[in-house]
Homo-oligomer: A and B are copies of this chain.
Amino acid sequence: MRVEVLAIGTELLLGQISNTNAAWLGQELAAIGVDVHYGQVVGDNHARIVRSLRTALARNDGVIVCGGLGPTQDDITREALAEVMNVALVRDEELVTRIAGFFSSRGREMPANNARQADVPFGASIIPQARGTAPGLICPVGNKVVYAVPGVPYEMSEMFERAIAPDLKERLADEGMTATITSKVLRTWGTSESGLAEALNERFDVLADGHLPVTIAFLASGIEGIKVRITAKGDNDAHAQELLAAEESEVRAILERNFGDIIFGVDDETMEVAVSKQLLKRGFTLGLAESVTGGIIASRLVDVVGASAWFRGGVVSYASDVKFNVLGVSEGPVVSPEAAIQMAVGAARVLQSDCGLSITGVAGPDQQDGHEVGTVFVGLSVPGAEPSAVRLQMPGDRARIRQYSAISALDLLRRALD
């Protein structure tokens, strides 16, 4: 089965935004075994959208159209779909009510324009919205299909997972393409992509001849670490799972042998979730003192549902005398291991938590206390151990230094609690 992604929006052609939707969909389509041969982008122009849709339909079994479902006059995907399907647009009054409800739940009246979002090409079915106002559409065109989803990435991905992926899988099954593809992501923090690749070379050699339907890929994910994605294709789910599990244990053994405990989670398990699991297991609560990261660690932790069970809070001690007065740090250089330790101990005391985690450093643009930009000290105070500090050197600009520092500090806490 072959599918093409057609992204709609003049803002994409003008480069005001990057076409990240196509990349995301490309990954997801590959993961379920759908082939992608081409990708297209077209501006907000009726004739061109129609032409691009026809081109895509002619050379594929299905098309995913992203964007142009908004309420404004330049959102014309619905009209183009109706023309390609050779049907009329029909306003769905139930949808109008639902969209109006979205506004009234926020104490606002629906602008008249938004009613356009309830126009549905005759014969199309609706993918209800879960996060915005524009419904998605599933449009049959002969024996082919066009899926239309909003261009907003977070609405698009939700609709793909909930409605499009299951529909595609059903079509694959109908065609007797019952091979099951399954994959697992091992999330690592602490080594480079080329380091991982070199260590895993022995597996690439084994897999190179293709006798095992298993692949390994890397996905550098910035502040989320480097992901190692293992994909296996089996005759059925049990077979695919078996192949996947075998490869996973090979990969885990190699990474453990080369780098120690660098796998902090699997699939969607973020570093903050890994930390929360360790804290819950040990029955500890946590308090933070953040300087250079300025609240990034706290905001990542609060993102974990149920954080109130183990997260007490934090002090963002950006000004030096907040470190002295609120956290009880001794006057002196605030970018130092001593200051980091006193911040961690102070955070645990002020916030009445079992553990204290602190971070102080230089994000730039200027150096500070004789330390170059990128120098960071992480302080740890954990029951049963002497408070300690670790010095890290972070690459990149101000934003990267702050983000990398935050995940590095969480990783140090994760390892300290292990």
Contact = CB atoms under 8 A, between A and B. Distances in A.
Given A107-B393, A294-B301, A25 B16 contact: no
A197 interface: yes
Given A296-B295, A319-B312, A395-B106, A15 B11 contact: no
A143 interface: no
A72 B196 CA distance: 10
Interface string A295-327: 111110111010110011111111101100110
B39 A27 contact: no
Contacts of A114: 194
Contact of A352 (B299, B314, B321): B321
Interface in A162-198: 192-195, 197-198
A255 to B, nearest CB: 15
A38 interface: yes
Given A14-B27, A19-B19, A48-B38, A326 B350 contact: yes
Q: How large is the interface on A (under 10, 10 to 19, 20 to 34, 35 or more residues)?
A: 35 or more
A284 interface: no
A229 B402 CA distance: 30
A229 to B, nearest CB: 7
- How many copies of this chain sit in the oligomeric assembly? 2
Contacts of A402: 299, 302-303
A408 to B, nearest CB: 12
A41 interface: yes
Contacts of A11: 217, 219
A313 to B, nearest CB: 4
Contacts of A397: 131
B302 A312 contact: no
9 contacts: A12-B23, A13-B26, A38-B40, A70-B220, A73-B204, A108-B192, A131-B396, A152-B220, A302-B316
Ranked 10 nearest A-B pairs via Cβ: A295-B295, A294-B302, A15-B26, A295-B298, A39-B41, A15-B27, A314-B316, A295-B299, A15-B23, A71-B194
